[in-house]
Amino acid sequence: MAGSRREEKKVCRMVESKNDDLSRAKCGKARVRRVSPPHTLKRHRSQVEIMRGQYFVLLRHARPRMFALSTSTKPACHRPCPPRQLSTNGAGKNTPPPPVEPPPPQKPLPDASVVEPAPGSAFYYKAVAVVLGLGTGYAIANYTDQGLGFIWPNPKREATARGYTTDASVTNWSATHAVEPKRYYEPSSVEELEALVRDAHAKGQRIRPVGTALSPNGIGMDEEGMVCLNHLDKIIQVDAEAQTVTVQAGARVSQVLEALGRHGLTLQNFSSIQEQQLGGWTQVAAHGTGASLPTVEEQIVRMKVVTPASGVMELSETRDSELFRLAKVGLGALGVVSELTLKCVAQHELLEHTYVVNSLRELKRDHHRLLQSYRHVRYMWLPHTESVVVVVSNPYEEGKTALPLSSHRPPVPVDAKLATLRALLLSHPSSRLSPAEISSLGFTELRDALLGMDPLDWRWVARVNGAEARFWEQSQGYRRGPSTEILGFDCGGQQWVLEVAFPIGPLPALESVDTGKGGRRRWFSLGQEKRRMPEAATPDLDFVDRLRRLIREKNLPAPCPIEQRWTASSTAPMSPAYSSDRNAVFSWVGVIMYLPPGQEPERREEIGTAFREYVEAMEPLCEEFEAFPHWAKIEVPEEAGRRERLKARLAKRYPVPAFNYVRKGFDPKGVLGNKTVDVLFADGEGQ
């Protein structure tokens, strides 16, 4: 028996990155794919085994607490199990693979067994999410309304001859959107994808493209039918000389970065997390930060799109350039992106500086200098406080980049950084955590636990924000590392979120002149004329300052942070950062309300209602500053009046008639749409 167990363990092997992060586990060609942000999994070691013929994931913490989930009832074997795949023959018809002779029967484990940690325990706040891609199927383990739980398709289901499963369940990262599509496809080849899209068009059946389902608004979800490119994730070619990479659209950002790293290359910019599929990542105009760096779709130099009515379209700036620009941010509604070629940059390190500013006047004084002096700039405004956390970074070259003296100071010990947060949690009468358990929690886990005490009491939230401000004061300093590590950011746990983008105009060219009194005065250039920099020329800061005042006036339970980032303009007309002015700069502002673990369903609904009130209070400000939502974070209002106002605003900002015209040409039956797309771009003619 011991020998058998050893053989079984050899079947699945865990591949872990240097960050001790779960990245991929294999059994034959079956894969474990992560959907949780990297920061969540870094604190956990995971093990994948086959026992008694069951695939299951066992997530261990340092304490003897664990949970397990069964995801498949494949027969036990002592050799790599063949992947569950569909083959194609003839006119795109799918046939199941030949049956495998089953071994002697064994007592099965339950279809899904979960040992849940007690609510309020330290481990309760360390639950993680894992996605398993098994052949053409998948399973999702995630938080549920009552804390830790799972959503997955029936593990006993078999793919039908039609090439899809009929009992899938899909939820986004925050479990704020979930669907059970009637048909769920995971094609194993580009040819199969093309056949699926043709078949959907012929039958008039929905086949909405979805990536890793990370979008807060579930923009890739549809109840009728969905297609995911989990298995179309090849890195086709890295051209080190031309500094380009060609990939299948199902490849994750982290996979691409890993492949590029072997050639001394990387992407110029990326989001806070790196688990998005390239197709979805670019289709919604995701972004990082940097006033000279555009949104991510601008990295595309060539793309292939599988359309229902026009077949495969290959687009670039030299081949159907107008269609190319429109399709770069097509929201998955013009076609299923199957392949992308992206431009890259040389691999580099960044030197990051984090510090806290407690004066808006000081921030305004330095603001334009920061945006133009640093490649990456991010502000985190802490509501109900005067604090703003400034995070800036620039490329670092050994022996060439001068390090400030303050960078050599030893960092503040972790216990000192977290002391205020720990003390506040320990002082709350409803806290059931012991001092030892509290001491095991990291920063975001402490924030989750604190907000979970009373997430809708603005006075309590203000106290939590004050404790967080103290944490950041203790966290000021420098760090250096690869751009792939420095640009990542711990986004926290489940959450409601809205992010908007608005233009702030070209940045003035900054110069400085000697005042003759030992100081320097800041100026900006306007043609040949120099003028003193006016304090009011900071609409991006004015927006957030007014938002902070709105939060105070309405006593909104707004947690930290209000995150502010910047990008250059985009040439894609459907991008929130589109501008015909190549020098235009856009500011992105994100607001948030967390869904702490352990909240009852009714409480989660109350948090959702409070967040909608938060967003509604922001709407006049957004209209005044011409701020428009991120496509992956826009929520269609339930109230008819607000919904129509939003549609009218979108119609003024974007070329909706042109978008609908191309959409009708490529997808006349609307098989790639869903409720969100159909409502936002309804033209009165059925689409």
The CATH number given to whatever domain includes residue 367 is 3.40.462
Cβ–Cβ < 8 Å for 221, 204: no
Q: Structure tokens of 331? A: 């929201």
Angle between helices 601-624 and 539-554 in degrees, nearest 10:
140
Q: Do 366 and 507 fall into the same domain?
A: yes
The answer on 460 and 449 residing in a single domain is: yes
Name which of 442, 470, 496, 589 is nearest 39 in CA terms: 442
CA dihedral 601, 604, 608, 614 (to 10 degrees): 150
Asked whether residue 664 is domain-assigned, the answer is no
- Within this chain, do residues 440 and 478 fall inside the same structural domain, yes or no? yes
Domain extent, residue 508, equals 349-630
Q: What residues contact 22, with CB distance under 8 A and at least 6 apart?
A: 14, 16, 32, 34, 41, 44, 46, 130
Confirm if 616 and 642 have CB atoms less than 8 A apart.
yes
Amino acid present at 117: P
Helix residue ranges per DSSP H, 250-400: 253-261, 278-283, 321-328, 360-373
For residue 464, give the amino acid letter: V
Tell me how many helices (H) and strands (E) the chain has: 17, 34
What's the pLDDT score for residue 213? 85
3-state class (DSSP) for residue 89: strand
Looking at the domain assignment, is residue 646 inside a domain? no
pLDDT value at residue 328: 98
Instruction: Tally Cβ neighbours within 10 Å of residue 243.
Output: 16
Residue in this structure with the two tokens 């009832």, named with its chain if needed: 73
Q: Looking at 228, 247, 267, which one is the last position of a domain?
A: 228
Do 354 and 318 belong to one domain? Answer: no
Residues 57, 77: Cα–Cα separation, whole Å? 18
For the chain, the maximum distance between any two Cα atoms, rounded to a whole number of angstroms, is: 91
DSSP for residue 165: B
pLDDT at 135: 28
Query: pTM higher than 0.85, yes or no?
Result: no
Answer whether 195's CB lies under 8 Å from 207's CB: no
CA distances from 204 to 196, 198, 670 (A): 12, 10, 8
Question: In angstroms, rounded to a whole number, what is the distance separating the alpha carbons of residues 285 and 498?
Answer: 15
Give, for 197, the enclosing helix (H) or strand (E): helix 190-203
Asked, for residue 188, whether it belongs to a domain, the answer is yes
- Tell me if 669 is assigned to some domain: no
167 inside domain: yes
Gap between the Cα atoms of 63 and 47, Å rounded: 15
Does 642 reside within a domain?
A: no
Does residue 321 sit in the same domain as residue 456? no
Determine how β-strand 225-228 pairs with β-strand 208-210: parallel
Would you say residue 648 lies in a domain? no
Say if residue 41 is in the same domain as residue 188.
yes
Task: Tell me: do 326 and 434 sit in the same domain.
Answer: no
CA distance 27 to 180: 27
CB 354 within 8 Å of CB 389 = yes
Give the span between the Cα atoms of 4 and 372, in whole angstroms: 62
Q: Angle at which helices 458-474 and 443-453 pack, to 10 degrees?
A: 160
Q: Of 347, 375, 390, which one is at a domain's C-terminal end?
A: 347
Q: What is the DSSP string of 202-265?
A: HHT---EEESSS--TT-TT--SSEEEE-TT---EEEEETTTTEEEEETT-BHHHHHHHHHTTTE
155/136 Cα distance (integer angstroms) = 12
pLDDT at 483: 93
| CB contact burial 8-19 (16+ within 10 A = b; e otherwise) | beebbebeeeee
* b/e 324-346 (16+ beta carbons within 10 angstroms → b): bbbbbbbbbbbbbbbbbbbbbee
Residue of 372, 361, 418 whose CA lies nearest to 394: 372
Q: What is the pLDDT of residue 15?
A: 28
Question: Exposed, middle or buried: residue 415 (CB in 10 Å: 0-12, 13-18, 19+)?
Answer: exposed
Q: What is the pLDDT of residue 683?
A: 75
Q: Do 148 and 200 have their domain in common?
A: yes
Task: For strands 137-144 and 130-134, give the pairing.
Answer: antiparallel
User: Do 283 and 306 reside in the same domain of the chain?
Assistant: yes
Residue 18 lies in a domain: yes
Complete DSSP assignment for 105-139: --PPPPSS---PPPTTSTGGGG---EEEEETTEEE
Domain count, the chain: 3
Same domain flag for 367 and 314: no
CATH number assigned to the domain comprising residue 336: 3.30.465.10
Walking along the chain (687 residues) 10 residues at a time, the average pLDDT comes out as 40 32 32 33 29 29 29 32 34 39 42 40 37 29 32 34 71 90 94 96 96 88 94 96 96 94 93 85 94 96 98 96 97 98 96 96 95 97 98 88 70 93 95 92 95 97 98 95 88 91 86 42 38 64 98 98 97 97 96 94 96 96 97 93 95 97 97 96 68
Domain identity same for 503 and 522? yes
CA 605 – CA 626 distance, rounded (Å): 30
Whether the CB-CB separation of 484 and 261 falls below 8 Å is answered with yes
Q: Which token pair is 651?
A: 């119609």
- Of 347, 362, 397, the last residue of a domain is 347
Cα–Cα distance for residue pair 118/422, rounded to 1 Å: 20
Judge if 169 and 138 occupy the same domain: yes
Which amino acid belongs to residue 50? I
- Predicted local confidence at residue 163, as pLDDT: 65
